[in-house]
Amino acid sequence: MPMTRPYFSRLLTLVVLLSLLCSETALTQYQNVRVSAVGSNTPEEVSIAINPTNPSNLAAGANIDYYYYSTNGGLNWTQGRLTSSLYGVYGDPCLVYDALGNLFFGHLSNPPSPGYWIDRIVVQKSTNGGINWTVGASIGFSPPRKNQDKEWLVADMTNSSYRNNLYVAWTEFDYYGSAASTDSSRILSSRSTDAGTTWSTPVRVSERAGDCIDEDNTVEGAVPAVGPNGEVYTSWSGPLGILFDKSTDGGVTWGRDVFVSDQPGGWDFMIPGIYRCNGMPITVCDVSNSPYRGTIYINWSDQRNGTSNTDVFLSKSTDGGTTWSPAQMVNNDLTAAQQFFSWMALDQVTGYVYVVFYDRRGTQSNATDVYLARSTDGGATFSNFKVSQSSFTPSSTVFFGDYTGIAAYHRKICPIWMRLDGSALSVWTAIVNDSTAVSVPEGVGYASSFALQQSYPNPFNPSTMIRFDVASREHVTLKVFDALGREITTLVDRIVEPGEHTVVFSAWDYQLSSGTYFYRMTAGHFVQTRKFVLLE
């Protein structure tokens, strides 16, 4: 029987696909490294920082008084317990490096005597990567009954006149937990111009106050960020949703509150298996030389899609915080699954945005994975990939903390999170080197040749990102095929400008089963095919 044209065409396509794959290798899973020592007493609420003067030096912290440091890029960690003879240590750890390599640890107070619980913010300093610490500086002490909570730090690494200034923002309570209408909460800020030795008298940031109950109507979650000209930005959650404010004089004065987004379900919500969950915002600003320099990003989570479908969102401003884009989902799954406890970082070398969060898209019941989202186009699109090597199932009887963490610098991405196995909490990170995130001078994309890169991650479930390089303006097609050579979809079919480009392929969109698939790029006379593997 003669071979029909459609059958011959499919067979030829399959032969060509297979012949081009002899050199393909699978991408290995991200290495997970335990940060906390075995037997640690329930560490949670984590923070991590990368030393810009030596990116092999990492530092991290966890509730209530743990500090960790690594001198080999996160492969091994040393654990210690932070102390302050003057002010005590009582959680909410935040670690940041400045441009000189000084390390700062912000936290709440628990003074031995006199004083009372969380009566001020404390910042301690290390000049040797976390081995030794100063006794610290006190911020915001306002007796007899005001409480200070949820502080966060940022260092100005720009070339503005405020370079190396430190800023801290936090929530002040008239009396923590009070339901009295006469008690309220507000966002405050302070700055240091002498590397953390002294701090300015706190100034009020938020115009609208919240209550003191530490729930949806309390103003909380102020994470400061620095703009390209030394501006200071922050956002927070409260009774009006997510609000934003800025200072243009180095944190001395602040402007008017700007509405960013509503937050359906509030910032304090329930997730099965979690003692307490929040979706308070994280603010970052691009001060790199990328095309998105000056863009401000705010990341949070809420339950606008239902209490069983918590999602992670992002809004951005390209005009200094005057106007904000509509809320955009960061998690790209099409499932009614829970994504929660997100944190965001921006690589100030590449301008790429990264968000880490817990994810249940591929698990049953309360089993939980850790995912990383990555945007190379100024937050317009995000690819998602799993970074945890195994799931864990938390229990709501154990306090899990209020946040995860992530740091990024020069293609080194350091997510940090808590696992809860039974009743045992532990702190983990993943070794993620973003090999596709190249440093480009003056924000201009560059490609010396046409190339189709291996998808990332591979194997994948349910989505993966495909990067291709274009050396000159050309019509590009990028198609996906199954193992029999049948076309599944066309991802790209247009004129493409020179540079590096990334697209996301999601198996959910096509109801694909597990197996081997192929993707092929054509640009003029250039043709290249690679394979990727979908795992269910």
Binned at pLDDT 50, 70 and 90, residue 105 comes out as very high
Residue 411 has pLDDT above 80, yes or no: yes
> Is it the case that residue 296 has pLDDT exceeding 50?
yes
Q: Is the confidence at residue 8, as pLDDT, over 70? A: no
Using CA atoms, how far residue 3 sits from 6, 249, 317, 484, in Å, is 9, 77, 59, 16
Cβ(356)–Cβ(405) below 8 Å: yes
pLDDT of residue 504: 83
Find the range with the poorest average confidence among 78-82, 91-95, 117-121. 117-121
Helix (H) / strand (E) containing 33 = strand 31-34
**What is the predicted pLDDT for the residue at 3?**
39
Structure confidence at residue 60 (pLDDT): 98
pLDDT band at residue 140 using 50, 70 and 90 as cut-offs: very high
Mean pLDDT of 278-301: 97
Contacts of 263 (CB under 8 A, 6+ apart): 237, 241, 242, 279, 300, 302
* Identity at 375, one-letter amino acid code: S
Higher pLDDT, 506 or 427: 427
Provide the pLDDT for residue 114. Answer: 64
Phi, psi of 153, rounded to the nearest 5 degrees: -115, 155
Residue 508: the pLDDT is 81
Query: Is it the case that residue 187 has pLDDT exceeding 70?
Result: yes
pLDDT of residue 441: 29
Q: Do domains 31-433 and 445-534 have the same CATH topology?
A: no
**Domain ranges for the chain:** 31-433, 445-534
- Give me the pLDDT at residue 13, please: 38
Q: Which of 414, 416, 348, 425 is nearest to 392 (CA)?
A: 425
| pLDDT value of residue 115 | 60
CA–CA distance, 408 with 344 (Å, rounded to integer):
9
Q: Report the distance separating Cα 330 and Cα 290, nearest Å.
A: 21
Q: Which amino acid is at 135?
A: V
- Percent residues over pLDDT 90 in the chain: 75
User: In which element (H, E) is residue 10 found?
Assistant: helix 5-19
Ramachandran class of 321: left when φ > 0, alpha when ψ lies in -120 to 50, beta otherwise = left
CB of 251 closer than 8 Å to CB of 191 = yes
CA–CA distance, 451 with 525 (Å, rounded to integer): 12
429: closest CA among 133, 124, 127, 72? 72
- Grade residue 320 by pLDDT with cuts at 50, 70 and 90: very high
Given a cut of 90, whether residue 308 has pLDDT beyond it is: yes
Which of these ranges, 130-144, 287-301, 449-463, has the smallest mean pLDDT? 449-463
**pLDDT at residue 197 greater than cutoff 70:** yes
Q: What is the model's pLDDT at position 536?
A: 75
Q: What is the pLDDT of residue 463?
A: 82
DSSP string, 309-378: --EEEEEEESSTTSS-PPPEES----SS--EEEEEEEE-TTT--EEEEEEE-TTSSTT-BEEEEEEESST
pLDDT higher than 90, residue 240: yes
The H-or-E segment that residue 9 falls in is: helix 5-19
Q: Please determine, for residue 50, whether its predicted confidence score (pLDDT) is greater than 50.
A: yes
d(CA 378, CA 316): 9
> What average pLDDT score do residues 256-285 get?
96
Closest by CA position to 493, among listed 452, 522, 469, 527: 522
Give residue 23's pLDDT: 29
Per-residue pLDDT, averaged over 163-177, amounts to 96
Q: Is the pLDDT assigned to residue 429 strictly greater than 50? A: yes
- For residue 450, the model assigns a pLDDT of 86
- Kindly give, in sequence order, each residue whose CB lies less than 8 Å from that of residue 59, ignoring residues fewer than 6 positions away: 48, 49, 51, 67, 68, 69, 70, 95, 97, 103, 126, 129, 130
- Mean residue pLDDT of the chain comes to 89
Mean pLDDT value of segment 246-250: 97
pLDDT value, residue 24: 30
Amino acid letter for position 352: Y
Section 151-180 average pLDDT: 96
Burial of residue 422, with CB atoms counted within 10 A of its CB: 0-12 exposed, 13-18 middle, 19 or more buried? exposed
> Is the pLDDT score of 219 beyond 50?
yes
Vertex 351 angle, CA 262 and 221, to 5° = 35
d(CA 397, CA 276): 10
> Rounded distance, CA 138 to CA 197, Å?
9
pLDDT higher than 60, residue 104: yes
CA atoms of 358 and 369, how far apart (whole Å): 6
pLDDT of residue 443: 29
Alpha-carbon distance 185 to 221, whole Å? 12
The structure's pTM equals 0.78
Give CA angle at 71 (69, 77), nearest 5°. 45
Name which of 249-258, 279-288, 340-349, 434-443 the model is least confident about. 434-443
- Is pLDDT above 50 for 298? yes
Architecture of the structural domain at 445-534: Sandwich (2.60)
Cross-strand pairs, 518: 481, 531
Q: What is the Cα Rg of the chain in Å?
A: 24
Cis peptide preceding 64, ω within 30 of 0: yes
pLDDT average, residue stretch 117-141? 96
Q: What is the pLDDT confidence band of residue 373, given thresholds at 50, 70 and 90? A: very high
Extract the tokens encoding 381.
């699109």
- Does 143 score more than 80 pLDDT? yes
Helix (H, G, I), strand (E, B) or coil at 503: strand
pLDDT tens digit string along 268-281?
999 999 999 999 99
| pLDDT for the residue 29 | 64
- 31-433 — its CATH code? 2.120.10.10
Q: What is the mean predicted confidence (pLDDT) over 228-238?
A: 97
